[in-house]
A and B are shown apart, each in its own frame.
Chain A
Amino acid sequence: MTGNGKIEKVSIIISKGSLEGVYPGLIMANGARAEGMEANLFFTFFGLDAIHKDRYEHIKVATVGNPGLHLPTWAGAIPGVSAAMTRYMGHKMDRLDIPPIPEFVQMIADTGAGLYACQASVDLFGFGRDDFIGQVKDIITVGEFYDLAAGGQIVFT
């Protein structure tokens, strides 16, 4: 924050790989740029799926262990339920003009926000630079993340 009480810079961490785990961070990053703030996105752990070439088109709603869905856990585990719920959410989002994840990630990169992958998670999952979409600026360590985040707010999702 600066003297005028406005947030000038945010660093948003996306750590989950479910649809409901990825969208909030994307919306916050995009909204920050729309307000003229500097924004960086840091993808860690399963959040890496949101920038993974072969996976970012297939991010699904978690239908098991998600009480917010008001669906019995056994029903959420039936094959196809997660895909159906994801399709349903997709239609609802489309009506509200919320873009699908690949388009949204591309748009956020176009706004000038920085996209970064977490080094420790990349090593853990055995990924390489080529596994990620071209918009990813770099794979960085936690120390480098803090350097990037300096002077701004950090939001963990």
Chain B
Amino acid sequence: MPTVTYAGTQVLVNEEGFFTDPEQWREEMAPEIAREAGIPALTEQHWQVIKHVRHEYELRGTGPTVRALGKTSGVSVKELYELFPKGPAKLAAKTAGIPKPRGCI
């Protein structure tokens, strides 16, 4: 399993770059993960989504899909795609250090 270094700490990720152990994630790693995913800087709204995704994961054991995010994060689907153009559910999960959400909607 590949390891990468974020914020000076080595973490385990899968082939797609998702954390395999969400416990290894720290908030200070998020900006670096986001930069790798093509998001140059994290705004307050990005953080709102990242924290929400993290919270949902802790609650349910899986990250929310885009539709669920649009309904529960306080950020609309349109804005979500402006924040994370290459896939909001996927990139928010990656930045929040949780596994890629599975779901078709």
Binding site for B on A (CB under 8 A): 27, 30-31, 33-36, 96-99, 107, 110-112
Residue contact A110 to B78, C-beta cutoff 8 Å: yes
Q: Is the interface of B mostly helix, strand, loop or mixed?
A: helix
Write out the residue numbers on chain A whose beta carbons fall within 8 Å of the beta carbon of B81: 33, 110-112
| Supplied contacts A30-B66, A36-B90, 18 more A-B pairs, CB within 8 Å | A27-B104, A33-B66, A33-B81, A34-B87, A34-B88, A34-B89, A34-B90, A36-B85, A96-B105, A97-B67, A97-B105, A107-B67, A107-B70, A107-B77, A110-B76, A110-B78, A111-B77, A112-B85
Interface residues on B, range: 10 to 19
Binding site for A on B (CB under 8 A): 65-68, 70, 76-78, 81, 85-91, 104-105
Closest to B77 in A: A110
- Closest-CB distance, A81 to chain B (whole angstroms): 27
Of A36, A99, A110, A112, which one neighbours B105 at CB under 8 angstroms? A99
A27 to B67, CA, bound (A): 12
